[in-house]
Chains A and B, each alone.
Chain A
């Protein structure tokens, strides 16, 4: 494995790290780009992008993780373009950098949180993208996210309290005086508040539009892996905006069908079970994996490992047209 500091110019200089397989390895004819998670620089939350880049390089991928303008080491732009617009342009520029420097002409985009949204938008805009891994982001544009976020956060909170309410340790803490009864009452109140049903969901037109974009990608032959942590609001956004996708492949074990109507078995698996790892890869172009007991940025080390293995397994099995000499979809 070789790591090099690289830079390329879009509106201004963008800085990144290129991780390449060593000379004696078979190199996949596909570049992987890791896109900034929120404001965290290219090392990724908890340095998980560094780990991911190194693991994918072991499988023969050339990986570029770089900073968008105004994030990490890359300076801010001087034009007035909003982030969600220039991030797509800069992702395309990063692809061109890999084409010019490494002769790669197809790409897999991977991003967490806002990085997932940029990955999706970039894939929609560019046919060179043959695969997208969206981690805790479902591709909403800023206006759509603003419209749905408040309700999604309420649902996430309700799931959290519901889980606490049914956990013996919560009651033990009350009995032993380590926690107040108010905490439990808040949980009860949250659960009695009731699940959010389809009729209460907002923005059906938005949902339909987003689903259409996913279908467009699927029809084009671009494969999508959505990875959702149980503790991320993205899981609730998924149910609000993408629940109607028929192209999704997910086992009932890994994907709660409706997180608003009670506690899915996925949230109550045995300790140690890692629901996303070792699942068969389906043939559908859009696949969803839920990682239980994980937070939005995969803070615990075992959740980082589960995340990396899920991506590795998907990349190893999904047909990305990566056979040497293969043509673009």
Chain B
């Protein structure tokens, strides 16, 4: 595992490269696309494990923090999806330059999966894609975050401050949500993109809601070799309270999901 900074000195991006292990040589590399905000914090461990398993299966893998997120430079107040899409492109170039792989697979969770689709539609070196509970509609996603924020606030000692130029709509679950960021996310809608993001895709959801069925059918209609799988698991991107089965709480690594992703990628690259 090799942590390093890349991109420009003004906007450094923090990445961790997981070199491939084992006997199999792969011509495809993987770039992992985190979700944002609190969901990033909660899913960090799952991504570390996913990267390790992919490297163990022979895939060179790069996970990195978007501008203003995690260990990368800047602050979320001056970052947003357009910038993060450029960051994913930079990470793809970095991985290809460093390893010589001809094409990449993007693997994303929640908003990260959405960004992966949009980036894939603009590039010809993204051939495969794993979408884990992608955000389909930006507006609904924001509404969901705001509801969760209000519910948390209701049961908490925390109280928003009044009269300091900031109000509770400027933040969500510990992270800034600027008007610009909110507006950009609102505009995201995966269900109306006609561009082809990748030739092979796996859409994975953790509940039986069938939320991804329309997108799956949409992609199949575009001629994409898309699979849809249900892998029941608690949401790795949410805070899970400690209980008898999970003493630590708050830290989930859904092994079945990670195994499904690695098995699928290995299968399509046989």
A interface with B by C-beta (< 8 Å) = 3-5, 7, 15, 17, 38-43, 45-47, 50-51, 72-73, 160, 163, 229-231, 271-272, 274, 293-295, 297-304
In Å, the complex CA distance between A47 and B162 comes to 23
Query: Chain A residues with Cβ under 8 A from B44's Cβ?
Result: 41, 43, 72
User: Which residues 1-24 in B have Cβ within 8 Å of A in the complex?
Assistant: 1, 3-5, 12, 14, 16
In Å, the complex CA distance between A163 and B158 comes to 12
B194 is an interface residue with CB less than 8 A from chain A: no
Interface size class of B (residues with CB under 8 A): 35 or more
Given A271-B163, A272-B161, A300-B160: A45 and B174 interface contact (C-beta under 8 Å): yes
* Identity of the chain B residue whose Cβ is nearest the Cβ of A296 in the assembled complex: B157
Choose one: A46, A229, A298; the contact of B175 (CB below 8 Å): A46
In Å, the complex CA distance between A301 and B176 comes to 7
In Å, the complex CA distance between A55 and B248 comes to 31
In Å, the complex CA distance between A293 and B159 comes to 5
Q: Are B158 and A293 in contact (CB under 8 A)?
A: yes
Q: Are A73 and B3 in contact (CB under 8 A)?
A: yes
Query: Chain B residues with Cβ under 8 A from A229's Cβ?
Result: 157
In Å, the complex CA distance between A39 and B12 comes to 26
User: Which residues 133-181 in B have Cβ within 8 Å of A in the complex?
Assistant: 152, 156-164, 166, 168, 170-171, 173-176
Q: Are A5 and B4 in contact (CB under 8 A)?
A: yes
Choose one: B3, B14, B175, B250; the contact of A39 (CB below 8 Å): B250
Query: Chain A residues with Cβ under 8 A from B190's Cβ?
Result: none
B161 to A: closest C-beta gap in Å: 5
B interface with A by C-beta (< 8 Å) = 1, 3-5, 12, 14, 16, 38, 41, 44-45, 48, 69-71, 73, 75-76, 152, 156-164, 166, 168, 170-171, 173-176, 248, 250-251
B36 to A: closest C-beta gap in Å: 11
In Å, the complex CA distance between A295 and B162 comes to 17
Choose one: A7, A73, A294; the contact of B158 (CB below 8 Å): A294
Q: Are B157 and A231 in contact (CB under 8 A)?
A: yes
Choose one: B14, B38, B170; the contact of A5 (CB below 8 Å): B14
Query: Chain A residues with Cβ under 8 A from B166's Cβ?
Result: 301-302
Choose one: B16, B76, B159, B250; the contact of A38 (CB below 8 Å): B250
Q: Are B158 and A231 in contact (CB under 8 A)?
A: yes
Q: Are A293 and B157 in contact (CB under 8 A)?
A: yes
Query: Chain B residues with Cβ under 8 A from A163's Cβ?
Result: 157
Q: Are A272 and B164 in contact (CB under 8 A)?
A: yes
* Identity of the chain B residue whose Cβ is nearest the Cβ of A306 in the assembled complex: B161
* Identity of the chain B residue whose Cβ is nearest the Cβ of A300 in the assembled complex: B158
Query: Chain A residues with Cβ under 8 A from B175's Cβ?
Result: 46-47
Given A3-B12, A40-B41, A297-B174: A47 and B158 interface contact (C-beta under 8 Å): no
Given A45-B174, A46-B38: A302 and B157 interface contact (C-beta under 8 Å): no
Query: Chain A residues with Cβ under 8 A from B158's Cβ?
Result: 231, 293-295, 299-300, 303
Q: Are B5 and A301 in contact (CB under 8 A)?
A: no
Choose one: B12, B41, B163; the contact of A45 (CB below 8 Å): B41
Query: Chain A residues with Cβ under 8 A from B176's Cβ?
Result: 301
Query: Chain A residues with Cβ under 8 A from B160's Cβ?
Result: 300, 302
Choose one: A7, A17, A40, A230; the contact of B71 (CB below 8 Å): A17
Q: Are A271 and B162 in contact (CB under 8 A)?
A: yes
Choose one: A3, A42, A46, A231; the contact of B5 (CB below 8 Å): A3
Q: Are B157 and A271 in contact (CB under 8 A)?
A: no
Q: Are A3 and B71 in contact (CB under 8 A)?
A: yes
B11 to A: closest C-beta gap in Å: 12
* Identity of the chain A residue whose Cβ is nearest the Cβ of B163 in the assembled complex: A272
Given A271-B161, A294-B157: A43 and B70 interface contact (C-beta under 8 Å): yes
Choose one: B12, B157, B162; the contact of A160 (CB below 8 Å): B157
In Å, the complex CA distance between A17 and B168 comes to 31
Query: Chain B residues with Cβ under 8 A from A294's Cβ?
Result: 157-158
Query: Chain B residues with Cβ under 8 A from A4's Cβ?
Result: 5
Given A272-B164, A297-B174, A302-B164: A15 and B3 interface contact (C-beta under 8 Å): yes
In Å, the complex CA distance between A231 and B153 comes to 12
In Å, the complex CA distance between A294 and B161 comes to 11
